[in-house]
């Protein structure tokens, strides 16, 4: 996927703050979702402030890519994209 870096960063954070959930984790990671959801819960256990950054830092490039692609598919910076593009 082609996207501008600044827009991708904004999209990622708005996605994580507003949309990230166990269901989104299943959509992004499929049969590996339980592992990633447990990681998210561990990293956000003391509060969600900074959890998105910690979660991203814990991921390998292989697992960062689908997360960022999902964020960019749903968000255009801080705005949700057209609902028809969500799934």
Using the predicted structure, report yes or no on whether residue 13 has a pLDDT greater than 50. Answer: yes
Residue range of the domain that includes 55 = 5-76
CB 62 within 8 A of CB 50: no
82 lies in some domain: no
Q: What is the tally of structural domains in the chain?
A: 1
- pLDDT greater at residue 1 or residue 46: 46
65 lies in some domain: yes
Per-residue pLDDT, 86: 46
14 contact partners, CB below 8 Å, separation of at least 6 = 71, 75, 77, 78
Q: pLDDT-derived band of residue 3, with 50, 70 and 90 as boundaries?
A: low
Q: What long-range pairs does 24-31 form, CB within 8 A, spacing at least 24?
A: 24/70, 27/70, 28/66, 28/67, 28/70, 29/63, 29/66
23 lies in some domain: yes
Q: What is the pLDDT of residues 33-83, one digit of tens each?
A: 999 999 999 999 888 889 999 999 999 999 999 999 999 999 987 778 875
Statement: the pTM of the whole predicted model exceeds 0.85: no
84 lies in some domain: no
17 lies in some domain: yes
CB 50 within 8 A of CB 40: no
85 lies in some domain: no
């Amino acid at each position: 996927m082609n996207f501008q870096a600044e827009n991708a960063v904004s999209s990622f954070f708005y996605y994580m703050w507003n949309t990230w959930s166990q269901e989104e984790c299943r959509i992004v990671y499929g049969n590996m979702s339980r592992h990633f959801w447990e990681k998210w819960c561990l990293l956000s256990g003391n509060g969600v402030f900074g959890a998105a950054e910690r979660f991203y830092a814990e991921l390998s490039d292989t697992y960062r890519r689908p997360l960022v692609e999902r964020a960019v598919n749903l968000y255009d910076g801080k705005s949700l994209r057209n609902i028809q593009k969500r799934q």
